[in-house]
Structure 1
């Protein structure tokens, strides 16, 4: 069988399938380190993803896995880190929030100890775990999902599904980030204004302090904008003044694969073959990766 796409959703799905005894190959147009997943902030939290009832189950299933993986942070890239979501209230969240261990109201929002994933490390670890299970990753560009020569094809192409399926409901939500030297900050912080395309978040990663961010609908630009970067640093420095003097290490831009709802469904192909779609995860691909992977595996190979 073939999984198309090597972002966090594609690799996680391939791992789940390979570890269930399937012979899996991943076809990818570009290596994992060049996917949108590689530049994600990496904080576990359902963000810009629907539908909420399904997202709850997928996110909680993934949370359980990440809590286990945090036992080997240097290997898996997953750590449990304390932080605060400013301006967020429990009664404004879905049912999943009541099942997040330690999530609690504080004076300015919600506090929790949540998984923070160092995405380059985690993607490399997923690739190695897939190889141990017998899976292979091949550089292959796909122009027609139905033409992939496999009895089962799983479509994890993210934003690429817009042209490949084709599915015009998939659209980009541009996110720009700034990586700076960490002046000693050990906790994460977010403040998301849903009425604006600008937000404020600070996420400590092993390679530096990740500052964000933006959520610009239907913007395809992958070029970092200097004015946007300066505004990001300024917003974060209002929260933590020591950030103002931190040396900039890198600029990152990613295009979130947004959709009105995640598409996770089975589609028959000619000759008795099967196509399973697993895309449209918006800003929460990391958050729901394991839950969606398990459901995709069940759709690919339904229990008798």
Structure 2
């Protein structure tokens, strides 16, 4: 990467802002363009680190582990919105824990007395929880400190982001039309934010491919309750019936939540495809487009690993860029 090279990042969700930070701190002149800043779907995330239901596995494992390293570092700073939190993931069908869970600190199988009624197996571990509104604001501050700029604007095509020799496409579901990518589809997610009745640990059910999820993530004075995963739906209006279901499922596991006051509804459309797309494309006009989208519900989990991958693709492209390593630890402040 040539020092000061102009790079336009399209999209201001967690993928876009993380990519912008990595590139700006590596010396690029970064300009972010997005209709919503921060992006609505990223704001709606719970969010707990975990590479779940996303492919390709080999790359996902690598991207996820790199992101985990960074989140552990960020958890040392209370202003980032990242905290290391202990909790339980449980199953009603005695499913074996995923490989990634067994490597986390404090991992152990739960005793039967630790599990809520109706659950047959579970495991405990410590993992980063991310308070997304706080965390996305942290990324924006960090981008500004690195000299990056942000413009709120809707694009009709990626070409509208020019003139720029490099465009980083982090448009999430918007890539359906902007690329275009017909393989991309929405999976609608809904969370309910309530007052915290005293919870300090998370709980998550392994629900597989069910459209009805069960999880709660405490963030200080609030708890994010989930959730839904409605494949093929991208409507961002609040579904009252889904709200009732979320509150009921969570209160059944943690009765204290029955008296919690509802503060907010958060709805997003997870941008999902058969495999996450992180790759370079040279367009006919010479513009280098770095694609970084299609993370489904793992956008936060993969964010730093994918951002660094995109930066390395830029470093490897072209004779005048090949000699410079764009990779820099994103945990720097």
Q: Normalising by structure 1, report the TM-score.
A: 0.94
Consecutive aligned runs of 4 or more in structure 1 exceeding 3 Å deviation: 88-92, 96-99
Judged with a 3 Å threshold, the aligned counterparts in structure 2 of structure 1 residues 78 and 296 are, in CA distance, closer, same or farther, namely: same
Larger radius of gyration: 2
Name stretches of at least 5 consecutive residues in structure 1 with no aligned partner: none
* Structure 2 residue 53 is matched with structure 1 residue 43: no
Aligned to 2:303: 289
Aligned to 2:157: 144
Mapped partners of 1:65, 1:54: distance in 2:
17
Mapped partners of 1:11, 1:89: distance in 2:
38
Deviations 1:5-49 (A, max 9, x none): 0001100001000111111111111110x5210110011111232
Post-superposition offset of 1:145: 1.5
Mapped partners of 1:185, 1:83: distance in 2:
10
- The alignment partner of 1:260 has SS state of strand
Question: Does structure 2 conserve the Cα–Cα contact (< 8 Å) formed by 1:258 and 1:281?
Answer: yes
Mapped partners of 1:168, 1:222: distance in 2:
20
Pick aligned residue for 1:114 from 115, 120, 127? 127
Deviations 1:69-116 (A, max 9, x none): 11112x11111111111129895524x445433333223312111111
Mapped partners of 2:144, 2:95: distance in 1:
41
Aligned to 2:183: 169
Aligned to 2:213: 199
Aligned length: 301
RMSD: 1.7
- The alignment partner of 2:12 has SS state of coil
* Structure 2 residue 26 is matched with structure 1 residue 26: no
Post-superposition offset of 1:284: 0.7
Name stretches of at least 5 consecutive residues in structure 2 with no aligned partner: 1-6, 112-120, 317-321, 324-333
- The alignment partner of 2:248 has SS state of helix
- The alignment partner of 1:270 has SS state of coil
